[in-house]
Amino acid sequence: MGVVPTVRPSPGPRRPLASSMAVFAALGVVLTVGLTSLLAAGQRSTDPEVGSLSGAGAPIVAPAAPGPQASYQVTYELTGGAHALNVTYVAQGADIAQVLDTRTPWSVSLVRTGAQGAHQYFSLTAQSAGGGVLTCRIVVDGVVVSERSVSAPQGMVRCSKSLP
């Protein structure tokens, strides 16, 4: 006796209409979103209050003229010890200047200019290169505004002052 093979019913005819409907529906959504985006973008470009990133349509504003300037005659000084290392100070504007190794006494004088009424920051930092006392001093317009000393070998000394 044999085994009777199982017969499956055929799937029937394919429905090409159902697949086409899904494709047409997707295209309709894409077209609707695209047209809506184009209309919205067109509306935005005609709005006179909206400027572009390039500044078109934005009012032109002239840069502010610099106000009155204040100048300070500043002298940074190091005394004592034989050498100082890593001498760092605030130079013109807010530039930082550095001298890696120098004999003492050492000094530098310069003119600092900035907006009148704005704070000016003065700073001098150095490291002692040996024994003895290393002293820093900042003199602004003939007046000592900061003075400090360090006596530890390889010690750091820092003078600083902010003036209006």
Q: What is the mean pLDDT of residues 118-128?
A: 94
Between CA 134 and CA 140, with CA 138 as vertex, the angle to 5 degrees is 165
Cis peptide before 164 (omega within 30 of 0): no
Q: Which domains does the chain have, with CATH numbers?
A: 69-163 (2.60.40)
> Residues 146-163: pLDDT tens digits?
999 999 889 999 999 998
Mean confidence (pLDDT) of the chain: 77
Q: Supply the pTM of this predicted model.
A: 0.59
pLDDT of residue 45: 46
Region 112-117: mean pLDDT is 86
Question: CA–CA separation, 79 vs 81, rounded Å?
Answer: 7
